Structure 1
């Protein structure tokens, strides 16, 4: 039996960073280390290909423990989180029945989105009938104007149930700035309105009623540091505005709930939530909230550290969901759920994979629930607190994103978050990021499986799309009612999907791969080209190869091809391309050269217009062909 005290790898000498770098540079064979291996993130900082213990020397994030200020490693000493499912309430009895059903299926947090015309005491009583208020986290949202009324009704109901309110957890989603962010409507009386909601909710000390809906930024296309930086500015605006109105910081801070989105940048999202806990703790602590209770979690001056604990709910991203190949959404939401739960969020909603195009059904909701339950019951993610702690890479990312988010927070806070919203600063920043991501998708620097990479061109989606129904809350954008800029609402895949749907309605054109010459190059380029044109839903016809260009053109015409893609090697294009161009003169087919040969300028001078390669803008190229073919 092996000696358990023997140190693993003790026979191997320590390797210095300099030695590692020397080996890497040697293996690069002259290639630039920075350009080849160092990643420049969208957040604006660089990520090295490897990290060592010395890289984390002096980092503040490595000193804290779970449950201890500044809460980098968690606001609690365990990693339990609420598994939440949201229910749209248009029929109160049906919503109650559904809530009771899903509670039996593993959910322990409910989110009720209630139509404003249903907000009355009798309906809330019916909605919550049979729900154990001390065992289930209950969350509510409704029309902005009906939130105070809803809060008062919920408080009265809980009082009537003879429950210990200290064991009742939940939230009411009152976000003063949501109307502006979503619809461009002002919130000039927000301080007084928010203060009323807070005061109304005081009898429920564990209910958080001030919402920082940062997921709106995430769903609009923001980068992680922007979502975090602006969320902090939003939260600080609530603290400063309501404290000036006479509420104490301890009360305000304990009524704020951060609702974040979580995207597919796996490690960055873990770092975002860790940084959020840290930075929010520092912000609240700077206000020096005094502790009003007998509590050991305060400093020598009596400043309450509990008030500095952030409460985070996460929901998987809508921005990167797709209509085509929609089951891939489950892969995206699974990695997003993993990021959020590893990072230690308080609660999580996994959006059903079909939410982008229809009202989710029992199957998709079941899958979404089970994605969380698998993480708990089979992967045991709830058994370890902050498992990423100590990772040189994660600790570096946490510090780096915290620095970027903090700089953005200071910038927004200097002007005031509400003033920044009215000026459109936040919305423009998010739109700029979204536009950059749209361009990255169009040029395949960002991949969306099934959309701009490896699409199934035979899939039809038009029949499964159900148009979104109008909001039942009665909030309309009357003319002149929306003087400010709203956040963008377009999903990442929308432009590609519009192209696919247009092809589906028109009928798919045929793209013929004229493969000839060098075997390796023609195979690689035909596969690339088939993937390229399939992104628009075009039907691709591949071939094993032709002896002559003439034979290939003949076969393409027999197949009634609309586009003929010449697939060969760069050297051979100088001969094959002019021959193909000559044979196609007078025809309706479009000739496309797969690649970027050195002779491209000469070929263009001969009238050959179309080239596709890894530097092509896939979306713009396909839109151009769709216009030429009469699809758009």
Structure 2
């Protein structure tokens, strides 16, 4: 077999075979447009990549490999605790179990008093830290007053605040940063995040005495979403953009740390263990992309993390570090035709957007919020119509799943994609309506639509009962006349439904709502006039339909 050689196929040959396999569908149906406005192609080859980038490809790869601030990544597990004593105990435990960067959000349930600040000061003189604070007057900031003068230069860390802070005598604490996480949580796409990072850096650089002084205090923070390849390319693209940005300032680029965390905008309070899968995907994308510091949020972080969930989150990074061997490779995704092309696309689009922001007078003068809102609405529409999947929430939902009532205040402002489904499930839990599916004909014929309807309402926490296979029109009429349900969906083939629905509308009980699975555009007006409530079909906006059913139930129930 070592002697066998396979003839290489050209893009045109592959395209010809793909068109045959599509059986009449246009070749363009294989192309996908992302929320960034970037078109993903069905196949990337060495030839197409070279045609696209030419000599810029080698420069891009070289830049990415030299613009990483560290040779590895550090684990930055956030520390939790209801009391100061519990917090310190958890902090020590996290360090003993592999945590490397003390990650602390100042919004805690206890007071930052002298005792805990003194203890914390001892830790941050030995370990790198990441603090999330409101401003320079945040109580947690008093910890720096507890550090002896001879130890101040040894303290290293990152401070995330709404504005850059000044910390005298702490040269190795980075306090100036581009924080794209807020915009990410509002729905921003990768191009917008990259452009915002540069725009914020531009404002900070202008206020600094020199590029070197600015770069020594600067870092950038990103949230990593579930779009695996896009997120890898986003981190790589920042390194290319950073070099171009530095050149624009007339300076030799100094690599700055990329501090990242898993995105919670894709997290759900429903089927919370799926959040762990999302976090694992996001963490690995960030590591391959080349982040320097990473935080994995526990799968139950939207409510209240437990000792177990925190340990699992930390172990995600430990496994990546110890078992994936990803750090044994410089730029693991480098040379991938797809990722290199995607990186170049992000660089081009983000740089153009950054220049537009600068022309407008900076981020404060640019109407970014409106543009991010448009992207967010697109994301929501994709989730509500199942063009994008949230496993366990908008598809494959468990109707018996119960949402935790606790709420983590750190993430209440995140525009999570699961929120509409969580709200509609709460509404249906209060309604207590009885619902069923009228299944007509042979099992093999009605099952696909019955399963679809069951899954549709499972997203609202409803378990739909079924009538069983009803073989004749008379049998279906008798069942409906005596059925003690508030809402019923007819599941049958199109041919059967054309005969079945008009007959059922004549015998249904006055207070019952009757829907049918399928579109039936030609019959819609006549059936609605005869008393049909509506239709359920693939591609429909689930939230709009569920809310409409809820409103109709309230109306008929008075």
Structure-2-length-normalised TM-score: 0.91
Q: Does the alignment pair 1:571 with 2:537?
A: no
Alignment-derived partner of residue 157 in structure 1: 147
Q: 2:17 aligns with which of 16, 20, 23?
A: 23
Alignment-derived partner of residue 39 in structure 2: 46
Alignment-derived partner of residue 372 in structure 2: 430
Alignment-derived partner of residue 452 in structure 1: 394
Instruction: With a CA cutoff of 8 Å and minimum separation of 6, indicate the structure with the bigger relative contact order.
Output: 1
Alignment-derived partner of residue 466 in structure 1: 406
Contact 1:74 1:274 survives alignment (8 Å): no
CA distance in 1, matches of 2:124, 2:364: 42
Contact 1:570 1:598 survives alignment (8 Å): no
CA distance in 2, matches of 1:553, 1:329: 45
SS in 2 for 1:128: helix
Per-residue deviation, residues 33-89 of structure 1 (Å, max 9, x unmatched): 11x2011111112111111101111356631588x5x336751573x2111112358
Alignment-derived partner of residue 383 in structure 1: 328
CA distance in 2, matches of 1:454, 1:85: 31
SS in 1 for 2:264: coil
Alignment-derived partner of residue 330 in structure 1: 276
Q: 1:591 aligns with which of 509, 514, 518?
A: 514
Shift of 1:285: 2.6
The aligned runs of 1:480-495 (5 Å cut-off) are: 489-495=414-420
Pick closer, same or farther for the CA change 1:118–1:125 going to 2, 3 Å.
same
Alignment-derived partner of residue 536 in structure 1: 460
Q: 1:412 aligns with which of 333, 343, 357?
A: 357
CA distance in 2, matches of 1:208, 1:557: 72
Pick closer, same or farther for the CA change 1:73–1:253 going to 2, 3 Å.
closer
Alignment-derived partner of residue 238 in structure 1: 204
CA distance in 2, matches of 1:271, 1:435: 23
The aligned runs of 1:130-529 (5 Å cut-off) are: 131=123, 133-134=125-126, 136-146=127-137, 154=144, 157=147, 159-161=149-151, 165=154, 168-176=155-163, 194=164, 197-198=165-166, 200-201=167-168, 203-240=169-206, 242-243=207-208, 247-289=209-251, 304-305=252-253, 307=254, 309-356=255-302, 358-420=303-365, 425-461=367-403, 464-468=404-408, 489-507=414-432, 509-517=433-441, 519-529=443-453
Per-residue deviation, residues 111-169 of structure 1 (Å, max 9, x unmatched): 1223599668765332133x3745x321223231416x9668527716343x863xx53
Q: Does the alignment pair 1:611 with 2:544?
A: no
Of 512-521 and 214-223, more deviation after overlay is shown by 512-521
Contact 2:159 2:173 survives alignment (8 Å): yes
Shift of 1:468: 4.7
Shift of 1:210: 1.0
Alignment-derived partner of residue 294 in structure 1: none
Pick closer, same or farther for the CA change 1:469–1:524 going to 2, 3 Å.
closer
Shift of 1:571: 2.2
Shift of 1:276: 0.8
Shift of 1:284: 1.7
Per-residue deviation, residues 188-210 of structure 1 (Å, max 9, x unmatched): xxxxxx4xx34x35x44332111
Contact 2:223 2:262 survives alignment (8 Å): yes
Alignment-derived partner of residue 186 in structure 1: none
SS in 2 for 1:319: coil
Pick closer, same or farther for the CA change 1:385–1:395 going to 2, 3 Å.
same
CA distance in 2, matches of 1:542, 1:383: 55
Alignment-derived partner of residue 185 in structure 1: none
Q: 1:626 aligns with which of 546, 550, 555?
A: 550
Per-residue deviation, residues 479-501 of structure 1 (Å, max 9, x unmatched): xxxxxxxx974321111111111
Contact 1:261 1:315 survives alignment (8 Å): yes
SS in 2 for 1:85: coil
The aligned runs of 1:3-82 (5 Å cut-off) are: 11-34=5-28, 36-57=29-50, 58-59=53-54, 62-64=57-59, 70-71=63-64, 74-75=67-68, 78=71, 80-82=72-74
Structure-1-length-normalised TM-score: 0.81
Of 557-566 and 526-535, more deviation after overlay is shown by 557-566
- Which consecutive residues of structure 2, in runs of 5 or more, have no partner in the other structure? none
